Structure 1
């Protein structure tokens, strides 16, 4: 029996870590001569005070849901997939090829193909580091982060030399057909009579992210493969003794992780830009690590953490627009959140555990 209940580990500890990060961020804002309370008001108003702000918050959160789930699946198997950035970028290539070279009559068919293509391309990009870890003993962190750079170079070559339309100076693919544009959230909500601003990129991909959360929960806690992944992550020696193959688990975890990261591209490539552009991932692969850490690798926690980072992204943009606070300060806030929810997790966890232990003894 642990000293701290599960709800405290899942909710209380991350919440305290988050409050500490925000307090320190407020002190930094105060140090540069700005009002931290006014800064928070602008962030909340800009990200949550209107359907326009909510639209951008949900758009960013969609990216973080997919990359956070990708990292979470690998975490459960004891693997640290730091290659979500490259896997999402290559997944975008799959989306572009599916939408540009097949004459789909309707967006729904194109969406299904784009989902499959992005998942396959992302999984394929993760398969090589997975095989190197499973068969050759190469460290997954080193290989996945190296493959981010390889993916970046590959996308530059493909966009400049293959997909770039003739006569265009922009390193991007041609635009997808107009009828392949994904429905925006304002169009979906209008069906049930809910007004929503149409000047934002939030689209049906957010609903797909919610479906992905449910699917990952079912996989991890309701299937044999999920049990094997979690068992292997808890103790490799015990899992091997029970007959679980390390090669099978490593490959399965990384393929699923890469597929989830690749599917993020549906939101950015098909849902927002409607073409493949350089840097379409915009760091979401790395933010996914923080999202998985803060969400305790649970799909519901990942969803909440993704919404938080979506808020930080959109609120930070509004903060940079309406104050003299630089946009880079939001990176500092994100770093503090990552620091306290990840690296300094025990700094909060141990005092909370002590308090619960003292309370239990005092009964």
Structure 2
């Protein structure tokens, strides 16, 4: 019997899911009185039309790479980490404290110190749900959602009290100039490539790409990665082989939380250059869709993150140019998430049946 090949799982299923999402989105746009073709053109131009727009697209994509990788690492151990949002909030707190209270003489040192602090704080926020899962049997989905709801008020309290800058806005003081990460314009300019300096994309993009390589090597090239995948496939078989569930659960969630926390390199250290209350902007939840669309593989996550970056930036331009309510743009983004995530089997099952049918004909 012919099973669905890997290329169909990785390419065909996501592409068909996107096509279905695009068709339903076109109907939505028609329903509110606009031409879907014109709307698509505005979105593509708004996301990729010039280097400033590309910078915004890559900035959003960088956030989604970190949170998508965070979801993927936990998922390989068959844990659904819904807590990326809260872990990113707390990671931002760690990065901010490292930059506010340590005088880094150069941005490279600030990047190392702030990045480590962000990862440690994000991992620490994931450690308690991981421990409750490993030792008490508490479901990781419930506990990580609860920790999302605890992270925001904690940050709200701190930004309106102990670490608040002067003024009405809940935010920290700006970091020292020596800690400002170079933007993409400066990075590309160093190799002779002209790029707009009006966008927020920065050196964190390089770190996100390195994180993709790290996760690929970890999951598919190390003993820990093999044990993680084995545990995810069958806990009972993994136990029989001598793999310790508590070890895998804790390590996978610590790495997952650390990756989500490292998103702060981009939005706290690279873009805002201070910690503001709404810095995460839902990237923790978008990371779930990015990981699902990317089939929990770093290459797929990178591609999916860029797609969602296009949707975010292009959607903002679409809302501004056609005066479409921002909520309608959110509906379009939600349709992509719906078809690539929740309704994945609606596309996958018919394709699997086709391959099975063709396999039987070939055997006969």
Contact persistence 2:96–2:274 (CA under 8 A): yes
Question: Where does residue 321 of structure 1 map in the other structure?
Answer: 320
CA distance in 1, matches of 2:356, 2:138: 42
CA distance in 2, matches of 1:2, 1:146: 43
Question: Where does residue 204 of structure 1 map in the other structure?
Answer: 203
Question: How does 1:282-361 map onto structure 2 within 5 Å?
Answer: 282-361=281-360
Residue 66 of structure 1: how far off its partner (Å) = 0.2
The answer to whether the aligner puts 1:42 opposite 2:57 as a matched pair is no
Contact persistence 1:173–1:275 (CA under 8 A): yes
Per-residue CA deviations over 1:50-77 (Å, capped at 9, x if unaligned) read 1111100000000000000000001100
Larger mean Cα displacement after TM superposition, 66-75 or 187-196: 187-196
Question: Where does residue 266 of structure 2 map in the other structure?
Answer: 267
How many residue pairs get matched? 362
Contact persistence 1:269–1:280 (CA under 8 A): yes
CA distance in 1, matches of 2:196, 2:209: 21
Residue 195 of structure 1: how far off its partner (Å) = 1.0
TM-score, normalization: structure 1?
0.98
TM superposition outliers: structure 1 runs of 4+ over 2 Å: 354-363
| SS of corresponding position for 2:325 | coil
Residue 86 of structure 1: how far off its partner (Å) = 0.5
Larger mean Cα displacement after TM superposition, 322-331 or 232-241: 322-331
| SS of corresponding position for 2:161 | helix
CA distance in 2, matches of 1:305, 1:101: 36
Question: Where does residue 9 of structure 2 map in the other structure?
Answer: 9
Question: Where does residue 118 of structure 1 map in the other structure?
Answer: 118
CA distance in 2, matches of 1:314, 1:282: 13
TM-score, normalization: structure 2?
0.98
Residue 179 of structure 1: how far off its partner (Å) = 2.0
Flag structure 1 segments of 5+ consecutive residues without an equivalent: none
Question: How does 1:162-201 map onto structure 2 within 5 Å?
Answer: 162-165=162-165, 167-201=166-200
Per-residue CA deviations over 1:172-212 (Å, capped at 9, x if unaligned) read 10000112110100111111211111101000101110000
Contact persistence 1:34–1:325 (CA under 8 A): no
Question: Where does residue 219 of structure 1 map in the other structure?
Answer: 218
Contact persistence 2:2–2:355 (CA under 8 A): no
CA distance in 2, matches of 1:350, 1:170: 50
Q: Kindly tell me: are residues 289 and 2 of structure 1, through their superposed partners in 2, closer, same or farther at Cα, counting changes over 3 Å?
A: farther
CA distance in 1, matches of 2:234, 2:153: 37
Contact persistence 2:47–2:56 (CA under 8 A): yes
Flag structure 2 segments of 5+ consecutive residues without an equivalent: none
CA distance in 2, matches of 1:125, 1:180: 25
CA root-mean-square deviation: 1.0
Residue 2 of structure 1: how far off its partner (Å) = 4.9
